[in-house]
Amino acid sequence: MMQSSQLFKGIDILRNLSIGEFFMFFVYLALILIAKSLVLFLFRKLSPSKDFKERIYPVIEDVLNWLVLYGGILFFLFYFSREQWLTLPFYETEGVEISILLIIVAIMIVTFASRLIKAFNHYVMPFVYEQFNIDIGMGYTINRLLYYVVMFLALAISFTTVGLDLTALGFVFSVLGIGIGFGVRNIAANFVSGIIILFERPMEVGEMVEIDKKIGRITKIKLRSTVIETLKEGTLVVPNQYFIEQIVKNRSSAQLYARVVVSVEYGSDTERIERILKDAAIKAAELMKGIPEKKADVRFIDFRNSALDFQVEVQVADVEMKERLESNIRHAIAEDFINHDVKLAKTVYETQ
């Protein structure tokens, strides 16, 4: 092991760093960032083509971000290359001398691997999936697996670079895992559930699902949670364990219906109520465009607390149409009930 005096010597060198040199470095770095922003601004303003802004501009932006990030790191190493503190080892383990330079290299390995695999999945893999007719869900699964494998290898290489023994590190994590296992069992369950979803693919990115009477489209499947975009409730972040343990309705392949349940008072003419509901539903459907079939299905579904329950169904094309048509059907039913003197069922507290 390195003597403590040598470690203190390194600390003394760090204390004597020139503030002026660091200030000038950050000034140069700020000029580089301003230049990048100016180049992007010119590309965005001077390119008249919409196709250029949607396809070419994001690529140029990614390339410039790469150049600025790694160019900035290389500029840092070049600017302070003559400084002793950059290469002075402040710790030694397993024959590897750890210095600031070595730590920067390890960080560059991880960040470069992350950016490289993301760019590869974004720009290269879609063409591969198109050639082999791979659907979106399977492509998303492959992308995530590639990302996790590459990042695991990058982290292993970076740990090895800075002298960490992976065998010892694994032993430490196993001991910690036993100690905190009970505290993070839900996280572990969600993690395993995420792996099951990625491999078994009971649901895929882009599919419509219904959770707690909320319908939305799956946008991301992560290892711990799944992101669902709904029409009005916003973004739902659902733990993956929920999909494994609960019954989740997949609405992608099923027909979608606008449904309205109405309760009328006991003693009403059920066949007359059914005709009124059907006429109201058809009238509401005819006022909307895009309805697949302008016909309604009305069923007498239940007796409940001195009430008669009816359900009205009309097939729709999407979730937005479903919500708008359900509102229109309720308006039409309310109007027809008033015209035909039909009374809604009273709740329990109203009869007391």
Indicate which CATH number applies to the domain containing 339: 3.30.70.100
In a domain, 24, yes or no: yes
Residue 331 has pLDDT above 90, yes or no: yes
Same structural domain, 223 and 275: no
pLDDT value, residue 162: 67
pLDDT value, residue 311: 94
pLDDT value, residue 141: 77
Give the CA angle between residues 280, 258, 316 to the nearest 5°. Answer: 105
Residue 286 has pLDDT above 70, yes or no: yes
Residue 74 has pLDDT above 50, yes or no: yes
224 or 14: which carries more pLDDT confidence? 224
Span 229-265, pLDDT tens digits: 887 778 888 888 888 888 888 776 667 788 899 999 9
Cβ-proximal residues to 166 (8 Å cutoff; 6+ apart), any chain: 156, 159, 160
Same structural domain, 230 and 285: no
Q: Phi first, then psi: what are they for 224, rounded to 5°?
A: -100, -30
Counting the structural domains of the chain, the total is 3
Residue 352 has pLDDT above 60, yes or no: no
CA distances from 257 to 205, 211, 287, 291, 329 (A): 22, 16, 17, 10, 12
Q: Look up residue 297 and give its amino acid.
A: D
Q: Are 277 and 333 a contacting pair, CB within 8 Å? A: yes
Same structural domain, 9 and 140: yes
Q: Is the pTM of this model over 0.85?
A: no
**Confidence band (pLDDT; 50, 70, 90) for 281?**
very high
pLDDT > 70: percent of the chain:
83
Same structural domain, 133 and 38: yes
Write the DSSP string, 174-205: HHHHHHHTTTTHHHHHHHHHHHHHHHH-SS-T
pLDDT value, residue 6: 46
Q: Which of 103, 135, 161 is the last residue before a domain boundary?
A: 161
Same structural domain, 69 and 91: yes
First to last CA, the chain: 85
Span 136-180, pLDDT tens digits: 777 887 888 888 888 888 888 887 776 666 665 565 556 555 554
**Confidence band (pLDDT; 50, 70, 90) for 93?**
low
Residue 189 has pLDDT above 50, yes or no: yes
Same structural domain, 142 and 270: no
Same structural domain, 150 and 27: yes
Residue 30 has pLDDT above 60, yes or no: yes
Write the DSSP string, 222-281: -SSEEEEEESSS-EEEEEHHHHHHS--EE-SSSPEEEEEEEEEETTS-HHHHHHHHHHHH
Same structural domain, 45 and 142: yes
In a domain, 176, yes or no: no
In a domain, 181, yes or no: no
Q: Are 248 and 323 a contacting pair, CB within 8 Å? A: no
pLDDT value, residue 3: 44
54 or 214: which carries more pLDDT confidence? 214
Q: What is the dihedral of CA 200, 205, 210, 212, to 10 degrees?
A: 90
Q: Write the CATH number for 234.
A: 2.30.30.60
Q: Which of 220, 250, 280 is the last residue before a domain boundary?
A: 250
pLDDT value, residue 16: 52
47 or 103: which carries more pLDDT confidence? 103
In a domain, 173, yes or no: no
Residue 346 has pLDDT above 70, yes or no: yes
Same structural domain, 242 and 266: no
Strands (E), the chain: 91-93, 96-98, 208-211, 214-221, 225-230, 235-239, 249-250, 256-265, 297-303, 307-316
In a domain, 190, yes or no: no
**Confidence band (pLDDT; 50, 70, 90) for 18?**
low
157 or 94: which carries more pLDDT confidence? 157
CA distance 145 to 217: 22
Expressed as residue numbers, the domain containing 241 is: 198-250
Same structural domain, 125 and 226: no
Span 106-120, pLDDT tens digits: 888 888 888 888 888
In a domain, 169, yes or no: no
**Confidence band (pLDDT; 50, 70, 90) for 272?**
very high
Same structural domain, 246 and 311: no
In a domain, 179, yes or no: no
**Confidence band (pLDDT; 50, 70, 90) for 84?**
confident
In a domain, 343, yes or no: yes
Q: Which of 161, 184, 206 is the last residue before a domain boundary?
A: 161
74 or 195: which carries more pLDDT confidence? 74
Same structural domain, 129 and 238: no
pLDDT > 90: percent of the chain:
14
Query: Considering the chain, what is the average pLDDT of its residues?
Result: 79
228 or 168: which carries more pLDDT confidence? 228
